[in-house]
Amino acid sequence: MIFKTLFLILICSKCVTSEVLTIGGIFYSDSEDLKAALVVSAKMYDFNVSMREVPRNGQILDLNGVVCELAEEGVIGIIDGTGGQSTEFIQALCDMLELPHVTIQHNDINDKNAFILNLHPSSAAYNMVMEKLVALKEWPNFTILYIKGYNIARISSLLKMNTHNDRYIVTVRELSGDDYRDALILARDSGYTNFVVDCPSANLELILKHAQEVGLMADEHSYIFVSTDLFTMDLERYRYGGVNMTGLNLRDLEHNDDLWYFTDMFNKESGLALESDQLKSKILLIHDAVLIFRKATEKMKKYFTKPVDLSCENFTSWNQGSSLLNFMKTNKVDGFTRSLLFDGYGDRNNVIFDILEVTPAGNQTIGNWINSDLKISREFLGSTEIVEETIMRNRTFKVLISTSPPYGYVKESTHQLEGNDRYEGFTIDLIEKLSQILGFNYEFETENDYGSWDNKTKKWNGMVLQLMEDKADFAICDFTITSIRQSAVDFSTPFMTLGIGILYKTPSKQPPAMFSFMAVFSKEVWYYMVLVQLCLGLIMIFVGRISHKEWQNLVPCIETPEELTNQFSFANSVWLIIGSVMQQGSEIAPIALAPRLITSVWWFFTMVIVASYVGTLVAFLTVEKDVLPFETVEELYKHKSISYGAKKIGSTKDFFEHATNPTLMSMYKKMIENNWLVENNDIGVAKTENDTYAFFMESTSLEYYKERHCDLLQIGNLLDSKSYGIGMKKGSPYKKYIDYGLLKLKESGEIEKLKNIWWKEKRGGGKCGIKQDEELKQLGLKNMLGAFVVLGAGSIIGLFISIIDMLWGVFKRSIKYNTTFKYELVEELKFALKFNGDIKPVKRPSRVQGSTETLADVEAKDEVKSLPSIRSGRSSDTHRTHHSHSSKHSSSGLSVAFARRRKFS
């Protein structure tokens, strides 16, 4: 009987362990790729899946419901694809249920006892590799670009680098909204060239696009991207600009058959058509999370029991949950993102990264991050090895050049020249420098047709054709690297970066406008000035009426006047303000402390305003400015009287021909219809000088002509970004040597020296000198904000003092006349807020009618020293004395006197 019982127990245990287990998943409703990855991974490792969707802006109750539902279904763990506060709330519930919680997003949950496993590399791992990369690049300064609201804990150590020593200068710029160009333009204008970019992978493409559009993708710019998804994108358009882009790769793509199988299944499940190297890191981490569950359950299969009766309401927990999580933390597993090792917090610190760079030849691995150590393995050829062992040494190559200034000229000489001596120019000197480094010889052959694809004949022509047919070895000139040319020939690393600019003749100077004195301040400042004066006038009236010292007796010979007068009427207040602004003063002089304080800060404010105005006024009245007929390509297109064009053959014309922007497409159509294209740059420049004509040309050529034609200038920003390179046959064995030579010339500054020689010195260079920008900026509100703040603060303080002064006067009056404080305060405010009349009674009418003797006694006690009103002064003293004496015991006469006083109360 005992054996039968044991046999049944064994059979039941096998049935339990062989039962298909379920993994839970919580994702946002729009995360279709992550849900497909979980379904595929579960099929690969024999799990069931139970998924729940939550809205991105959902409520906490939504998460509470889905976690509890999954727990009641008996899942062995939850894979969380949400992140942020949602992950923190899910974690709290999983802690209560003792249910393993695996997240693929970065988080900062550092509870050692938490039931969480974070497959995303930890902040510590990112900070270490970022510091090493910045130190390796030897950046003296760099700028951190991040998305507004994004957690930048992964690069927090970089923010501290400028505090350790003086080696680094670190700046930070926030990118917000859907257009990053304004922030990137400010970065460009500030001279920034080195950038660390930390952002979600969804924002990478927009950042790269806008950086290229504002000219931050040239050969002087360098980037480090924190995201591991940079190289899942198509970076073809950025390969030839010369920009240095470094990023991290988390996946292992070599000899990984499981990854190809997973990719195929994922494409079938999601309906996409991705390659393995295009899968986002989160998709691979979903697979690795399921793999960790599989490896852990296999180790626990002898005593593993499926969770049952878990309930959030009853606060029940899974007694094997902690054991399963410990196996997941300590079990060494190799997944698609390499070794999955965790610390006691469930964080992944020991991570392996590949360090990749974007090059004209594609994405290349230059090193690895292994065991907290950065190992660079870039192929490098030393100068000795290049000179002594290069296959180019002592060989003679045919080099195609173009006689396009300043890249190539036919040399001017009094006697006949032969061979290479016939030519001079920038590219002539450049190839000579390369030959000295690499030890080769060369022969020049001129070819002014750079090469284009003929759709009719389906053939190339010009330089491209000669390189393809081995009729020449290299082509060096203003040879633009384009994707279509790259399909036919190879290019070296760029030796010059440029874009398309607009050349136009300098407009004649325009005298200052009639009302140019108004342009010193922006409209905004003028509007606020008027508003402030009106508001301050009202404040002065109110403060003057509630300040008892401002109520004065104009006839000092009467010690106990019946009426007082106040100088702060609306007209007087405005006059005081205007007189201060005009620096003329005023006969109005404040007496009380509060009005004096407000007047003082107003005088300070006007001093700043007037000084700023006068200091800038002279320039606005004297400087003559250039008035440009257009400033952007859109304004040029709308201008009816200005024609425009480009060279008939070249990349500039091709740019307009293949443009997708409606404005550029329309401009190209008009160029063709009106025959505005020209044969070469010289004709275009001459036409620009003599006609109303704008010429589109590459910025390097534009700079060259500006140095020699002082009446020409560049208008607007560059329309695109591209580079010049040395062309050679596809698959040329000489490419890596030419690249090395150009890199060496760049590092030594030789290329920049050659450019200065041929642009600014030889062949008429430097003729125009440096043009000074005479246009001054308006003083905006931000320039004058400090003065407004001082004025506002002083007015508030003065108003506060005046209120205290009024309350003290009300308190003394209530004691003096034996009335309540509330009654006197209400009467005072009622009088002050009427804002009419400049006469104020000395005493309030009594609330209780009394005898005339009582009222007379109270009046006799009035010790307020004030002047009688002008109106009271109109009656003679004799008449008043006689009248008062004769009516002393007359109740009707006394009532009339009090009535006269009450009409102003």
Is residue 179 within 8 Å of residue 222, measured between CB atoms?
no
Number of H helices, E strands in the chain: 32, 35
Is residue 726 within 8 Å of residue 433, measured between CB atoms?
no
390: alpha, beta or left, given left = phi > 0 and alpha = psi -120 to 50? beta
Beta-carbon contacts of 603 under 8 Å, excluding residues fewer than 6 positions away, are: 580
Angle between helix 750-760 and helix 699-706 axes, rounded to 10 deg: 50
For 257-395, strand residue ranges (E) read 333-335, 338-340, 353-359, 362-370, 373-376
Beta-carbon contacts of 241 under 8 Å, excluding residues fewer than 6 positions away, are: 212, 217, 218, 219, 494, 497, 721, 722, 723
How far apart are alpha carbons 905 and 897 in whole angstroms? Answer: 14
Classify residue 881 as exposed, middle or buried by CB count within 10 Å of its CB (0-12, 13-18, 19+). Answer: exposed
902 among the known binding-site residues? Answer: no
DSSP string, 795-809: HHHHHHHHHHHHHHH
3-class secondary structure, 430: helix
Cis peptide before 406 (omega within 30 of 0): yes
Report which of 225, 215, 221 is spatially closest to residue 242, judged by C-alpha positions: 221
One-letter amino acid at 857 equals: D
652 among the known binding-site residues? Answer: yes
What are the backbone dihedrals phi and psi of residue 721, each rounded to the nearest 5 degrees, phi first? -135, 130
H/E segment holding residue 49: strand 48-54
Beta-carbon contacts of 651 under 8 Å, excluding residues fewer than 6 positions away, are: 480, 482, 698, 722
How far apart are alpha carbons 826 and 830 in whole angstroms? Answer: 6
Distance of CA 316 to the CA centre of its chain: 49
What are the backbone dihedrals phi and psi of residue 839, each rounded to the nearest 5 degrees, phi first? -120, 130
DSSP string, 622-655: H--EE--S-SSHHHHHH-SS-EEE-BSSSHHHHH
485 among the known binding-site residues? Answer: yes
How far apart are alpha carbons 679 and 473 in whole angstroms? Answer: 27
How far apart are alpha carbons 76 and 290 in whole angstroms? Answer: 11
How far apart are alpha carbons 5 and 539 in whole angstroms? Answer: 98
How far apart are alpha carbons 155 and 174 in whole angstroms? Answer: 14
651 among the known binding-site residues? Answer: yes
Is residue 464 within 8 Å of residue 451, measured between CB atoms?
yes
How far apart are alpha carbons 331 and 8 in whole angstroms? Answer: 32
How far apart are alpha carbons 856 and 863 in whole angstroms? Answer: 14
Beta-carbon contacts of 173 under 8 Å, excluding residues fewer than 6 positions away, are: 143, 144, 145, 146, 183, 186, 187
What are the backbone dihedrals phi and psi of residue 274, each rounded to the nearest 5 degrees, phi first? -100, 150
Binding-site entries for L-glutamate: 480, 485, 651-652, 698
Binding-site entries: 480, 485, 651-652, 698
